[in-house]
Each structure stands twice: as C-alpha cells, then as structure tokens.
Amino acid sequence: MKRKLFFLIAFVLLNVLTSNAQQVQVSKTLMQAIEAALSQDYDLANQNLETEKLEIERKSVLNKYIPHVSASALYGYFDNTLTLDVPTLTLPLTGVQLFSGNQQFENSGNLFYGGLTAKTVLFSGGQILNGAKALEAKKKGMELLSQPKRDAIIKDVVYSFDQIRLLNEAQKLVDESEIRLKKENERVEKAIANGLAIPYDRDKIKLAVLELSSKKIEIEGKRKVLYQKINMLTHYETAQIDAVVYELDPIILPQNLSASGRAELQALESFKSAYQYALKKEKGTFLPTLGAFGSYGYASVFDAKSSFNGPVTGNNYSLKLNEATLSPNLMVGAALKWDLFTGFERKHKIHEAKINIKQAENQLEATKEKVALQLQNFNAQYETLFKQLEIANQREKIAKQNLVVAQKQYGAGLINVTERLAAETDIYQVSLNKINTIIEQRKAAFETLSAAGNLQNAIQVK
C-alpha cells in the first residue's frame, strides 16, 4: 500500500509540474452522482428561477422601445337637455326681442367610436438602456452566487461517498480480525483440552469477538444513515449508490492558489456595476422623454334628434340627423415630457444610488480579505493532513509487523492473550485512521479548491 501511495503521489506531482491547470479526477459513476445531486437540488433550482425572473424583467424594460398598439371601441346612447342663455337681440323697427331668456334643446341619439393607437418611446435620457444594463449585471451576479451552492453540493456528495468507503474499509478490517480470532480460538480450545492453556484466554478472545460484532452493528447503522443522506442528495436508490465505484486516493494540489477567482467576488463586482448603471439611470431623469404616436379612428353620430322652441313665434321645432361620420381620422405626432422639478425626489434617488455603490465597494473589499483568509486556513489544513498521510502509512506498516510478531509470540507462549488482542486492536485503529486521514485530506483539498474558486473547473472524469 505504501509503494502504491508513493507512486501515486509521484505521478500526480509530475502532472502538476508539467501542467498549469490543476485537475481532480473522479470516476464516471461519481460524476454522474454529482450531476444528479446538482439537478435535484431545490434551492439551486429556485436560484435559477430567480435569475430567469431577472431576465424577464430586463426584457420588459427593453420592450418599452417597442411600439405599444392598442385598439378601442365605444358605443353609447345619449339623451340630454342643452340650456343656452345668450344676450337678447332687439330687432330694429319692430322692436321684437330675440333670444329672450333661456333656450332649451332636447337632444338624443347614438354614438360610435373605434380606432387604433400606437405609441413608442424615442428617447428616455438613457433610463431604459441603463435600467436594462443594471438588471443584466444583477442577473450575472445572481448566477455567480449559485456557484458556492454548487460547490457545497459537490463537496457533500463526494464526502458522503468517501464515508461509505471508510465504512467498507472498517467492515473489511473487522472481517479480517474475526478470521484471525477464530483461528486463535480454535488453537486455544485445543490447548485447553491438552492442558496447555486456561479458559481465561478463551474468554478474552470471545470478548474480543463480541466487540467486533458490536462494531459491525455500529457500522451498519452508520451505513443506513449515509445511504439515506445520499438518497436525499441524488435521489439514488441503494443499487445505484452501490454502483458508484472509485479509488480512495489522496488529492494533490498545486502551490500558490489564489482566491481572486472566487464567484462571490465576481458577483459583488457585478452588483457594483448594477448600482453604477442604476445611478446613470437616475441621472437620466434630468433629460426630457420624447415619444411618438399615431392613430387611426372612426367616429359616427347617427339617428340623432334635437327639439327646441323657436324665437318670436314660440313654436316647437324638431331637427333630425341621420348620420355624421368622421372617417378616416389619421393622426401622427410627437410628445415631449420634461420633469423640471420633482420635489428633490430625483436628488434623493441619486444619493441613494451613490450609497449603494459605496456599500458594494466596502463589501467587496471586506470579502476579499475574508476569502483570502479562508483559503489560507483550508490550505493549511490540507498541507497538515497531507504530511500526516505518510505518518499514518508508517504507523499502519508498524502495526501490521507488530501483529505478525504478536501472533508468533503468542503461539510460542511468550506473551499473554491481552497483549495479543492489543495488537489486534492496534491494527484496526491505525488502518482505520489511515483511511480516515485520506478522506479528511480529500475533504480539505476540495475545500481549498472551492476557496480558490476552481472546484467545478478542476473536476474531470477519468
């Protein structure tokens, strides 16, 4: 195992030195599990939907440049009384007075109107364009913010499958110990029958076997929990989980990783750009808005009647209108709107936009410091665990040698059963510790890549 680990490390280090881009190779089945988890995560799906909503909002803003066409129609029946009071006119010679007092007209009829109207914005002072750019930058920032969530899912999936491999190794060690203890028990039974051993040795071995059975139960309980967790992450059934196979190898990372590529930093840069475009949009309100319009209409009054009392004679007169139609009624033109004073509302919005930019800048600088510290922390853990791997490998080698020696010495009667069983416990603990150190080293490597913003690009299928 040590020789295999040595050649693996040497091979990976050679690749690192001859390539600028670091890679973490995973099996095809593990990559499929990662992709399944990414596609099944509900929080990630909701983040994608939020991004989609921003794109729709951006398109809605740009659509203001597209002419809006509307159609309208109106039918009405009117019945009213019109009262007129004009100055009285006295005719010469006769002295007859015309329009003395109020004159009332009784009117009724039908009215119909229909038409099409088109309106569009020609110039908005940059408000529409800058508003759309602000939403585009915000959308980009939201997309980037989904990357840490994707990293977290990837790390969770890989670590969960690594834990299964740890349990498999523990199961293997327990089985091997059971086989060895079974042979020891058979030898002790023969020795007791020949008077060369005492029942105490047999009981100690039986107690050790019972402890191994307890460990088996514990392993199986942990396995069930892990399978449930992986099922929740990937929606994999037991057979699919068992079909994910790969070697549990350490991960070698290049030196001098930088956190400058972190998605969080790029997202904050995008949000800062969004606020800058929002500021330009607010400044555009100082300029006028110019629009154009055009309409085509049809209007008609029909079956209209009007009655009134004539002057002088006082007779009642009745007038009838069969139809009065205005068609086609074409109209085109331009409209200008310029808000000269808005009660300082514009000034306050501009001030608010400047504050948002400053807050984004402060948050960006603070985040740069935090992600740099985070990278240093994870990298230190990775380097520490990488150094501990060689120690763990040496401890396992020594424990295996001690086990062989203890078996021979116990068979020769040079050590007691307690010392023999201690060697059995040591091999279990140090072997399991080595596997656990590899898993923790892999976890630290994934955390370091994530802290550098390179995790998703680094993962490659073997």
Angle ∠(311,316,322) on CA atoms, nearest 5? 110
For the chain, give the mean pLDDT: 87
Q: How many domains does the chain have?
A: 2
Q: What percent of the chain has pLDDT over 90?
A: 61
pTM for the model stands at 0.80
In this structure, the answer to whether residues 283 and 423 fall within a common structural domain is: yes
Residue 282 located in a structural domain: yes
Angle ∠(63,66,67) on CA atoms, nearest 5? 135
In this structure, the answer to whether residues 225 and 144 fall within a common structural domain is: yes
pLDDT at residue number 312: 58
Tell me, rounded to whole angstroms, the distance of Cα 134 from its chain centroid.
19
Residue 152 located in a structural domain: yes
Please check the confidence at residue 204 and state whether its pLDDT lies above 50: yes
Mind giving me the DSSP string for 100-165? -S-EEEEEEEEEEEEEEEEEEEEE-TTHHHHHHHHHHHHHHHHHHHHHHHHHHHHHHHHHHHHHHH
Q: Where are the alpha helices (DSSP H) in 19-126?
A: 28-40, 42-62
Q: Which of 142, 146, 143, 135 is nearest to 275 (CA)?
A: 135
- Per-residue pLDDT tens over the stretch 354-388: 999 999 999 999 999 999 999 999 999 999 999 99
- Per-residue pLDDT tens over the stretch 408-432: 887 777 878 888 888 888 888 999 9
pLDDT at residue number 177: 86
Cα–Cα distance measured from residue 25 to residue 361, given in angstroms and rounded to the nearest whole number = 37
Residue ending a domain, choose from 270, 302, 337: 337
pLDDT at residue number 98: 64
Decide: 119 and 291 in contact? Cβ < 8 Å.
yes
Residue 307 located in a structural domain: yes
Please check the confidence at residue 14 and state whether its pLDDT lies above 70: no
- Per-residue pLDDT tens over the stretch 127-158: 999 999 999 999 999 999 999 999 999 999 99
Partners of 321 in the β-ladder = 304
pLDDT at residue number 89: 72
In this structure, the answer to whether residues 131 and 117 fall within a common structural domain is: no
Cα–Cα distance measured from residue 145 to residue 264, given in angstroms and rounded to the nearest whole number = 6
In this structure, the answer to whether residues 276 and 185 fall within a common structural domain is: yes
In this structure, the answer to whether residues 263 and 325 fall within a common structural domain is: no
In this structure, the answer to whether residues 226 and 83 fall within a common structural domain is: no
In this structure, the answer to whether residues 430 and 301 fall within a common structural domain is: no
Decide: 293 and 118 in contact? Cβ < 8 Å.
yes
pLDDT at residue number 411: 78
Find all residues with CB under 8 Å of 141, minimum gap 6, and list them.
Answer: 266, 267, 268, 269, 270, 271, 274
pLDDT at residue number 20: 38
In this structure, the answer to whether residues 100 and 217 fall within a common structural domain is: no
Decide: 212 and 175 in contact? Cβ < 8 Å.
no
pLDDT at residue number 299: 94
Residue 349 located in a structural domain: yes
Please check the confidence at residue 94 and state whether its pLDDT lies above 70: no
Residue 66 located in a structural domain: no
**Hey, what are 81's tokens?**
């009384």
Decide: 233 and 153 in contact? Cβ < 8 Å.
yes
In this structure, the answer to whether residues 421 and 301 fall within a common structural domain is: no
Cα–Cα distance measured from residue 345 to residue 339, given in angstroms and rounded to the nearest whole number = 11
Range of the domain at 95: 72-123+292-337
Judged by average pLDDT, the poorest of 182-191, 293-302, 372-381 is 182-191
Find all residues with CB under 8 Å of 445, minimum gap 6, and list them.
Answer: 24, 250, 251, 252, 253, 382
What is the arithmetic mean of pLDDT over 338-364?
91
**Hey, what are 421's tokens?**
């069983």
In this structure, the answer to whether residues 187 and 215 fall within a common structural domain is: yes
In the block, which residue shows the tokens 């039986």?
Answer: 206
In this structure, the answer to whether residues 421 and 306 fall within a common structural domain is: no
Judged by average pLDDT, the poorest of 83-97, 170-184, 279-293, 312-326 is 83-97
Residue 33 located in a structural domain: yes
pLDDT band at residue 313 under the 50/70/90 scheme: low
Q: The domain spanning residue 200 has which CATH number?
A: 1.20.1600.10
In this structure, the answer to whether residues 34 and 106 fall within a common structural domain is: no
Residue 49 located in a structural domain: no
Q: Which of 56, 30, 99, 68 is nearest to 308 (CA)?
A: 99
Q: What percent of the chain has pLDDT over 70?
A: 91
Residue ending a domain, choose from 337, 366, 394: 337
Cα–Cα distance measured from residue 46 to residue 55, given in angstroms and rounded to the nearest whole number = 14
pLDDT at residue number 254: 85
pLDDT at residue number 403: 87
Residue 395 located in a structural domain: yes
